[in-house]
Amino acid sequence: MSSADTTSQASSRKILDMLFGALVMGTVGTLLGLLMGGRVLPIAVGIGLVMGTVVGLFGGRRFLVSILIGTLLGGILAWLLAGAEKISVGAGAGAAMGGFLGVQYSMLMDMWAERKRAAADAQVPPGENREAP
């Protein structure tokens, strides 16, 4: 695989992440804008789109997926418990919880990976090069 192919794949993946971020955060902005009232809706949607694009640009796919799952579960739970008129409230609250839990999960996974890496480095005898064939 050539360098141009990997660069093309990386840039197309980044564009997809940015679109996914804009979709997820734009949806959350729409839900929150609906709760706040008519004149706030365009501002909330715009902020959501910009924030989602930036998060996608920096590779926050796990974070965006956790927000998406929180939005869906919060909306479904609100629908089952309070009725259809409260779906947007539950979805907005679920998105917030999903984002919070996603950040915590990501930090725990990074910490776990670092511990595994440190344990593997500690098992290599001194003077040996790990990268050598």
What are 21-43's pLDDT values in tens digits?
Answer: 999 999 888 888 888 887 899 99
Res. 133: pLDDT tops 60: no
Contacts (Cβ under 8 Å, ≥6 apart) of 47: 29
Categorize the per-residue pLDDT at 46 as very low, low, confident or very high, splitting at 50, 70 and 90.
very high
Q: Is the pTM of this model over 0.85?
A: no
The predicted model gives 50-71 an average pLDDT of 91
pLDDT at residue 112, rounded to an integer: 94
Tell me what the pLDDT averaged over the chain comes to. Answer: 86
pLDDT at residue 127, rounded to an integer: 61
Q: 87 and 78 in contact (C-beta within 8 Å)? A: yes
The predicted model gives 61-87 an average pLDDT of 92
Q: Is 8 exposed, middle or buried (0-12, 13-18, 19+ CB in 10 A)?
A: exposed
CA 85-90-94 angle, to 5 degrees, is: 160
Closest residue by Cα to residue 75 from 65, 63, 88 = 88
| Percentage of residues in the chain having pLDDT higher than 70 | 89
The predicted model gives 44-62 an average pLDDT of 92
Res. 110: pLDDT tops 60: yes
